[in-house]
Amino acid sequence: MTTMYITANIKIERMEEEGKVYYLATSDEIQGLTVQVDTLSECIEIAEESVKELIDIHKKLGNPIPINTAGKEIVEIKNFTIPLTVPV
């Protein structure tokens, strides 16, 4: 079985409120995605899990996938490169 993928952009912001740092993940392309956690790695991990859960819920309900796919191609990904930003 071939797994197909679609790329959607997720915006992750580093926020600070009253001296406490947290990360917020949202997306203009994925309806309903909002993740707020204490660390960047946790934000990425939970955002990915949340997107999978959103898709599963919509599939079970017979709704369209909650990702804006306009102008996007669904592809099989074999290799890819992602940017990684680290503090120095």
| Whether pTM exceeds 0.85 | no
pLDDT along the chain (88 residues), means of 10: 71 93 90 92 91 88 79 57 64
Give the pLDDT of residue 20: 95
Task: Reduce the secondary structure of the chain to three states and give it as a string.
Answer: CCCCECCCCCEEEEEEECCEEEEEEECCCECCCEEEECCHHHHHHHHHHHHHHHHHHHHHHCCCCCECCCCCCCECCCCCCCCCCCCC
Cα–Cα separations (whole angstroms), residue 4 to 10, 17, 41, 78: 19, 39, 25, 10
Give the pLDDT of residue 14: 93
